[in-house]
A and B are shown apart, each in its own frame.
Chain A
Amino acid sequence: MWKEIGDRERGILRPKSFTTRIKSNRIRTLQISNHKDIVSPHRASINSLQVDLTEGRYLLSGAADASAAVYDVQRATEYEGGGLIAKHKCLFVVDKQHEHGHKYAISSAIWYPVDTGLFITGSHDHHINVWDTNTTQVVMNFKMPGKVYRTAMSSLATSHMLIAAGTEDVQVRLCDIASGAFSHTLSGHRDGVMTVEWSTSSEWVLVTGGCDGAIRFWDIRRAGCFLVLDQSHSQLGRRPTIPEHSATNKALTSKSLSSGQNLNAKPRAQQRKLANGNGTKQSPVGKMPAKGSLRQRLHPGMLSSLDRATAHYGAVTGLKATEDGMYLLSAGSDSRLRLWDVASGCNTLVNFETVRLQGSKPIQLATSQDSALVFVPCMTAVKAFDVWSGNTSQTFRGHYEYVNSCWFSSQEQELYTGGNDKQILVWSPSRLIADEDEGPAQDRDNWSD
């Protein structure tokens, strides 16, 4: 440690690599915190956790008893154990008793990415509420056609403030806070959408994972998705090589698709509004033989809805993009975690040793800074995997029941996990109690008597 500081002083070590080294050393010693505790007021399982992106100070949690609470993770509300253990109680709670509160479980609670003045909660009661943090009042309300599984807002967005909502309906809806209405719907999934994430490299790209096992990339400025991830398209390693086999396979499938239907030059603007129409049109194409007596006229942008490639053999339960936006991690109910190269759309075949992942609920993955480690809730433990090799680096056992969500705060190098046992646990780098000061500074001034 001292040698590194000396190197940094002399300029041998760059500042960025100095901080990365210190941070990764701290991450390697993550364990259940012996000096910090979050007191959760929830009376049911915790479904969602997020620390705000602007300051990294406030933790928002959403639970299955329709309550959402905010905690300050940097300043404790009180100290216990002779000042050694910092207890963080919630700053406020909104629950069923609130006049506009949710009635059923909250599945997703996220901060407004620009500041902590607003937060958005999505619930199984088919509503998405936008709350004002300071007055804890509902400012806006969106009604969805089904249970809301996930909501997401882009942290990079400068020209839009759209909330992407994944529900049990097959369409992904984009809600606009500025106007209070739905701006568009994205169709293509064949079953409910369990996870939605915005891309970390472009404010217009949305990634969704559905219960049908497909992962689709959407550019919200145009119709249809531009990429569907297929687990059989794989590349060996980080950089894509150009294998002839997969190239010919892609050519063959695209040829058979285009021969199967008639491309209509005129765009069909009604395509988007016909929510159920899209679904019923897909099945006849599948059952018909290649004689193709039933021609389907589709907008060229909607061709992707015929692509039935799956990324997982079960539902896609978690998605996380790396910080540079070049790779995507996906967790599925087939208990597999896959790493995808976004640029080529291929599976990089990194094998993460996951024995079982829970498949009925969406789970929240977290990546450490620079995305070298990914934290995955695996049943009752949280495992940290090295992203590029797939090796298990650490296992965090502490919850009594299944873990649903985890969030890594890169400022403090702390991991927050919430699970079905109604607890939010804090995992922080180990430190000796003796090194720290004894909690609140004692007032030693002469004149304050």
Chain B
Amino acid sequence: MDKTSEEASSKGKKRQREQQPTETQTNQLHHQILSLEDNLSFTDTLVALRMMRAQFPRIDKVSIQPFVLRSQLYSSVKDRTQVDRELESLRREKVVRIFKLNTGQDDHAIMFLDDYLNQMENVVKRFEEKKEGDLDVFKWFRTHVINSKLEPSIEHQELYTLLSLGGMVKDGHISLLINGGLLTRQLIDPNMYWFAIPNIGSVLKGLSQGRKEVLSSLNRRRYKEMMLASMEKKRLRFSPLDMRFHLRDLIGSGHLKTVQTSTGLLVRVSKD
């Protein structure tokens, strides 16, 4: 599950059922088959989450912990209802946290709680270096809000009540949280704060541009389709995330569909 094996990604064939990719890793001396076709389907949501977290591309400019998009899970596990329900139980057990992203309809990012707390620590460290303002609010946020509020959004009143369990809350504290990237507001409801992953801005921009790029590269072709193997070889100009990330996301959200052919998997733009 280390990153070096992904970099040398060569293409293999998709195995229809649940062969664990861990078995192939023992053969990685011979061929580095950790491609998308191998890992397209998993049995279980947690297994899929862990594998995709391990395959998260390393971005040099921004230090960000791995996250998985919900649409990627839909493309990996066959039964979507099972994915939703397992995610819900994982969320309730505080193993993962779900964030609503503002890139398009119904985009959700899933991050393991430990990764999220690490990301928060990085933010706090950055603030400490700059010595801006009262940093107690981050501690209160971590102990009171994150532990008890498991939904992706929180109302203004509730945020105040929960933070007040730590100490006297002022408006400046909430601005600090927003500046740190931990909370954000979306157009849906002016009264509601949404939890967010800090430092994720450039990655989200890359996400939407990458999606457009992948779809346009397929749409430009005459028959709007391409072999999965050759798609994976392409490099994306506008996105720091790799092709595999985008392919999983687009297949899961229904923009692309895969067709099994005698020479391998074919990716086609779905017209619906």
Contacts and interface: CB of A to CB of B under 8 A. Distances in A.
Contact of A378 (B80, B100, B152, B272): B272
A355 B253 contact: yes
Contact of B157 (A213, A234, A260, A336): A260
24 contacts: A236-B88, A245-B92, A246-B92, A249-B150, A260-B157, A286-B156, A287-B156, A290-B160, A308-B155, A308-B189, A308-B192, A313-B106, A335-B105, A335-B106, A336-B106, A349-B85, A349-B88, A350-B81, A351-B74, A355-B254, A355-B255, A356-B254, A379-B272, A389-B81
Interface in B111-168: 148-153, 155-158, 160-161, 164
B253 A351 contact: no
Interface of B: 74, 79-81, 83-85, 88-89, 92, 100, 105-106, 148-153, 155-158, 160-161, 164, 171, 188-192, 253-255, 270, 272
Interface of A: 213, 232, 234, 236-237, 243, 245-246, 248-249, 252-253, 256, 260, 286-287, 289-290, 308, 310, 313-314, 334-336, 349-351, 353, 355-356, 378-379, 381, 389-390
Given A336-B106, A379-B272, A389-B81, A313 B254 contact: no
A237 B253 contact: no
B106 A290 contact: no
Contact of B188 (A256, A313, A350, A378): A313
A290 B161 contact: yes
A67 B211 CA distance: 43
A232 B150 CA distance: 10
B150 to A, nearest CB: 6
A257 to B, nearest CB: 8
B157 A256 contact: yes
B160 A249 contact: no
B151 A232 contact: yes
Contacts of B84: 349-351
A335 B105 CA distance: 8
Contacts of A334: 105-106
Contacts of B254: 353, 355-356
A216 B89 CA distance: 26
A243 B93 CA distance: 11
Contacts of B253: 355
A213 B186 CA distance: 15
B158 A390 contact: no
A245 B191 contact: no
A287 B160 CA distance: 12
Nearest to A309: B155
Contacts of B83: 351
Contact of B80 (A236, A308, A381, A390): A390
A390 B79 CA distance: 9
B164 to A, nearest CB: 7
Given A286-B191, A290-B157, A381-B272, A313 B85 contact: no
A349 B150 contact: no
B33 to A, nearest CB: 30
Nearest to B93: A245
A289 B106 contact: no
Sort A-B residue pairs by CB-CB distance and give the 10 closest, nearest first.
A355-B254, A351-B80, A286-B191, A349-B84, A232-B151, A290-B160, A236-B85, A351-B81, A390-B81, A351-B84
B191 A314 contact: no
Contacts of B160: 289-290
